[in-house]
């Protein structure tokens, strides 16, 4: 297996795992959201990588007007991931807004402390 050739995929997996681990293991809500962001970015990397074709160039028509013989990268995954990035930004923004509200309401953003407060209320 040609590890260097699959470098991007390996990186995607590393990012994915790091992100997921942060989401699960960190009690600080902001860190959780950072983890979530990393996790999402790993998918962006995955998509962008799969659109890359060996020796392909950006999918723009050459000035000559003829695309004959030119190898293009697949533009579709890149376009898709633009959408996903927008979604990711929205999610992170909403998440952070919620964290701000939680900080106002509970006075803390540590999950354990919040849980203790909630349990004392129930």
Nearer to another protein, 62 or 118 (CB): 118
**55-59: which pairs have CB atoms within 8 A and are 24 or more residues apart?**
none
Size of site (CB under 8 A) for another protein = 31
Please count the other Cβ atoms lying within 10 Å of the Cβ belonging to residue 29. 19
Closest alpha carbon to 74 in 59, 87, 89? 59
> Does 39 interact with another protein (rule: CB under 8 A)?
yes
Residue 50 binds another protein, judged by CB under 8 A: yes
Closest distance of CB 58 from another protein, Å: 19
> Which range binds another protein by CB under 8 A, 52-60, 62-70, 79-87?
79-87
**Binding residues for another protein (CB under 8 A):** 20, 23, 29, 32-33, 36, 39-40, 43, 46-47, 50, 76-77, 80, 83-84, 87, 90-91, 94-95, 98-99, 101-102, 105-106, 114, 118, 121
């Amino acid at each position: 297996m040609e590890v260097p050739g699959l470098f991007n995929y390996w990186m995607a997996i590393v990012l994915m795992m790091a992100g997921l681990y942060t989401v699960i293991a960190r009690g600080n809500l902001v860190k959780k959201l950072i983890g979530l962001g990393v996790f999402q970015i790993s998918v962006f990397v995955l998509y962008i990588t799969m659109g890359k074709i060996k020796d392909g160039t950006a999918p723009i028509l050459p000035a000559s007007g003829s695309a004959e013989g030119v190898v293009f990268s697949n533009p579709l995954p890149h376009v898709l991931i633009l959408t996903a990035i927008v979604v990711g930004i929205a999610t992170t923004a909403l998440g952070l807004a919620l964290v701000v509200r939680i900080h106002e309401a509970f006075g803390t953003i540590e999950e354990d402390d919040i849980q203790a407060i909630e349990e004392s209320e129930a």
